[in-house]
A and B are shown apart, each in its own frame.
Chain A
């Protein structure tokens, strides 16, 4: 409430106050309208458990009520996903690859650029499995059965476990 009451005042202060006159702030973000210029179809990850213990795939925080999926050693599971290429309107050079949430498995997220799959190895705590993606997905036919993600070890944190496109 207090914030609400004073925000116009703060805005005023930020614009024109202080001994030096107008106080500098970074210009506010101006998200540019985007247009979809490409999309994938039929993409999937084929996650296989190559460890000696159960591997439990966890739904992303956004779908926390979905059930966990436990893969016994040797088992695999196909996780479908789709990405779109978004380009800022009027800009022909800059585009980005975005996970299409509506056409993708609830076990995948894209908080930054990598796809993230969280999994529990045995009875341990959840770990991130990073899948690096790229524009190559848009120009190629998806492999039949899906991109193999053979989980044979606990991933190194912060490092893509699998790269779907060459760097």
Chain B
């Protein structure tokens, strides 16, 4: 069995195990939430040994490489690297295995909220390092298997009640899935209704994030404390999927900019002030050598699919939740054309810098909607302001409940919510970085309570991202 086949068989088995558990406790007559985590919100497990030609990867002994203490006291962040051959590092096999659980469930607040309502809930975990198209392909299989299993066990079809609730990058996967299956402009409305109820994106960067591009230059804090900035930049550059998180290409923005409220190109050259497109081959010479140009082009291509219009019967079921309350979000970017010969990632000075504006701290306000979506299908948060915590925020969860129960977005005044997460609160960035330093310097034992403090890991979960 080939490397691909071995890998996908394991993924298939993981999905099936989760679907079986879901189907056993499925409650007919209640909505289903299929949650698609944001980038890095799915746990990644790695095989203990390399793939062998006969496909004999051991069935046991997979260990998490994303995310556990091994990212700071081991070398897990390097192990997620993908080789140019498309194999995982050293021909091991890495698969997504559920939502992150260590030591906090990344979406625990959302799960508890929907559990309390008695709704059905399942997470579609995907390998956020790989292409959005591959994840969308797996999502189609996942939903087909879910339908088959529930029908076999409960005799009802869950599909018409499925709400795809997608956080951040998960929304790109969901949109790619919809574009994949509803290709005809005159798609049958009944088929649409039989496939899903709604797609609700929460903080999805349809047109990019402000925080990704500089990872290709200076890596990501606080991972650099353990690995150095260049090494993290190299690992980030080896992952094909997240290249889509840079600001959208110029032709796309020229087409959609007015509709989404960004009529001028959001990235300019830091010296000339002229628009500069990160996906334009003319600008590829600005990137460090470890950046993969083919991945840039592939990402731009799939964005074309993600931002392409949907048939009317489908777009009627698409909704967005976004926030513009963090006015320090990089709503525009300036990109300096640095001399790569003298550029040193370890200096920590990125040639990409943000111009503050509205957003959720990561995704600019203007980027978190599709051009085609009606304004009445978009909820702009009045309290929730933090990208990483959006799906667990009380306001967002109440808005989702209102939408699903009433089939329309609530008015801002309808939602009475406090500014609080229903998940785990985050520790300060300083507290998290202090722990990382102490772990790396072996000043704190992995068994100590501080090393496993959920509040700190909640912070690290959001800060140690490669996408």
Chain A residues at the B interface, C-beta cutoff of 8 Å:
2-3, 6-7, 9-14, 17-19, 23-26, 28-34, 61-62, 64, 86, 88, 93-94, 96, 98-99, 101, 109-114, 125-128, 130, 156-160, 167
Contact = CB atoms under 8 A, between A and B. Distances in A.
Nearest to A102: B2
A99 B4 contact: yes
Contact of A109 (B4, B13, B132, B179): B4
A18 B101 CA distance: 13
12 contacts: A3-B74, A13-B446, A26-B64, A96-B9, A99-B4, A110-B4, A112-B8, A113-B8, A113-B141, A128-B298, A156-B179, A157-B298
A102 B4 CA distance: 12
B76 A96 contact: no
Interface in B1-26: 1-5, 8-10, 12-14, 16-17
A160 to B, nearest CB: 7
Contacts of B249: none
Contact of B97 (A13, A26, A127): A26
A127 B446 contact: no
Contacts of B16: 88, 94
Interface in B92-121: 95, 97-99, 101-103, 105
A156 to B, nearest CB: 6
Interface in B400-428: none
Main secondary structure of the interface of B (DSSP, over half): helix
A11 B73 contact: no
A20 B448 CA distance: 12
A58 to B, nearest CB: 11
A112 B131 CA distance: 10
B302 A157 contact: yes
A100 B410 CA distance: 51
Interface of B: 1-5, 8-10, 12-14, 16-17, 43, 45, 57, 59-64, 68-70, 73-76, 79, 84-86, 95, 97-99, 101-103, 105, 130, 132-138, 140-141, 145, 148-149, 152, 176, 179-181, 183, 294, 297-298, 301-302, 304-305, 308, 446-447, 449, 451-453
B180 A125 contact: no
B17 A86 contact: no
Contact of A2 (B9, B74, B152, B447): B74
Nearest to A126: B294
A28 B63 CA distance: 7
Given A111-B4, A111-B134, A28 B305 contact: no
A108 to B, nearest CB: 10
Nearest to A9: B446
Choose among A7, A93, A127, A159 the residue with the greatest number of B CB atoms under 10 Å from its CB: A159
Contact of B73 (A10, A125, A157): A10
B271 to A, nearest CB: 29
A125 to B, nearest CB: 5
Contacts of A11: 63
Contacts, number: 176
Given A11-B63, A31-B57, A101-B2, A18 B452 contact: yes
Contacts of A34: 9
Given A7-B63, A98-B5, A113-B137, A29 B452 contact: no
8 smallest A-B Cβ distances: which pairs?
A18-B452, A101-B2, A158-B133, A3-B74, A112-B137, A26-B98, A157-B301, A28-B62
Contacts of A18: 103, 449, 452
Contact of B101 (A3, A25, A28): A25
A2 B75 contact: yes
Interface centre among B4, B69, B79, B86 (most CB of A within 10 A): B4
Contact of A31 (B9, B451, B453): B9
A130 B449 CA distance: 49
B126 to A, nearest CB: 10
A64 B85 contact: yes
B87 to A, nearest CB: 8
Given A23-B103, A88-B13, A159 B183 contact: yes
Given A2-B73, A23-B103, A28-B97, 16 more contacts: A6-B73, A7-B74, A13-B446, A18-B103, A24-B105, A25-B43, A25-B64, A25-B102, A26-B99, A29-B14, A94-B16, A110-B8, A157-B304, A157-B305, A158-B180, A158-B302
A13 B5 contact: no
Contacts of B140: 113
A115 B238 CA distance: 23
A93 B147 CA distance: 12
Contact of B9 (A9, A17, A98, A157): A98
A159 B180 contact: yes
Contacts of A25: 43, 64, 68, 101-102
A52 B298 CA distance: 23
Contact of A93 (B9, B84, B99, B152): B152
A14 B102 contact: yes
A33 B60 CA distance: 12
Given A10-B73, A25-B102, A158-B132, A93 B43 contact: no
A24 B101 contact: yes
Given A93-B152, A113-B141, A126-B294, A10 B74 contact: yes
Contacts of A6: 70, 73-74, 446
Contacts of A114: 137
Given A2-B74, A26-B101, A157-B304, A125 B181 contact: no
A125 B412 CA distance: 47
A29 B45 contact: yes
